[in-house]
Chain A
């Protein structure tokens, strides 16, 4: 029987110990992917996995990515809330892979709110 063990993740352990200091930093941004039934059916899982890829690529341990329930705006799912600590959270609507990458690179990394996809402040 195949079982996922620590051995499989060992290489990564060596790799990640190098940037352990980075990950210890204070959270600078919190990204929330809304994952109710509506969000999941609309593609929230892909949004989440795209964010994880972008986070790995940017090598930024101070960006926190979490899942949450339905926001109540089911028709505009998948929704993504970006909160740069100290600023008002922005809710993005109808996210796909490309929009997610754009929001991550422009808003999260550079602070430019992408008003084209924004649903509102909240």
Chain B
């Protein structure tokens, strides 16, 4: 994956496939002052301990269309390649949390990338899923929760393309440091 934000999109999609209706994404670019920490949590069906242990093996997958599953293993490999770490916790009653850290200044670290597009893709592609997104930078932090927004935006669909364009702009301006 060329961007960390693409991993995030992929992991969120995993959670939704596991039946989640709530996805929490946190990007902390201040972790330990030297790392970027990405956490994706879902409230889907979770995995049993055997699956948790095996999930980062590319030859383990729940999919039926083919026999290899790359998503989690790619995320883990991306972290380990740049002095990071990877953890996964799953509970069959509560869902799955996984996080990875990436050494910010490591040469092999992919850029965070277009988080705006990742979030709008999730909102548009899965309109019924609640998405909470927090992004922490040294100078500021950003937060968005589609469940709250939906309640306040009476009558307007969040997946209206004009609304999505605006959300994308706001997120990317925040990351690039423009107001």
Contact = CB atoms under 8 A, between A and B. Distances in A.
Nearest to B174: A2
B153 A6 contact: yes
Interface stretch (A40-48, A84-92, A95-103, A107-115): A40-48
Interface string A31-51: 001011110110001101100
A21 interface: no
A55 B149 CA distance: 22
Nearest to A61: B160
Interface residues of A, number: 39
A35 B142 CA distance: 26
A53 B65 CA distance: 31
Contacts of B166: 8-9, 12
A118 interface: no
A74 B9 CA distance: 17
Interface string B154-179: 01110011111111101100100000
A65 B153 contact: no
Which of A17, A23, A40 has most B Cβ within 10 Å?
A: A40
B80 interface: no
A49 B65 CA distance: 26
B143 interface: yes
A72 interface: yes
Interface stretch (B28-36, B44-52, B88-96, B120-128): B120-128
B152 A6 contact: yes
A76 to B, nearest CB: 13
A9 B156 CA distance: 10
A56 B165 contact: yes
B121 A45 contact: yes
A40 B125 CA distance: 13
A50 to B, nearest CB: 10
Contacts of B71: 36-37
Interface of B: 1-2, 6, 9-10, 13, 17, 63, 65-66, 69-71, 74, 114, 117-118, 120-122, 124-127, 140-144, 149, 152-153, 155-157, 160-168, 170-171, 174
28 contacts: A1-B143, A3-B142, A4-B143, A6-B152, A6-B153, A12-B166, A16-B162, A23-B160, A35-B10, A35-B125, A36-B71, A37-B74, A38-B70, A40-B1, A40-B9, A45-B114, A45-B121, A48-B121, A48-B124, A49-B120, A52-B165, A53-B165, A55-B161, A56-B165, A65-B124, A67-B124, A69-B63, A72-B65
Interface of A: 1-6, 8-9, 12-13, 15-17, 20, 23, 33, 35-38, 40-41, 45-46, 48-49, 52-53, 55-56, 65-72, 74
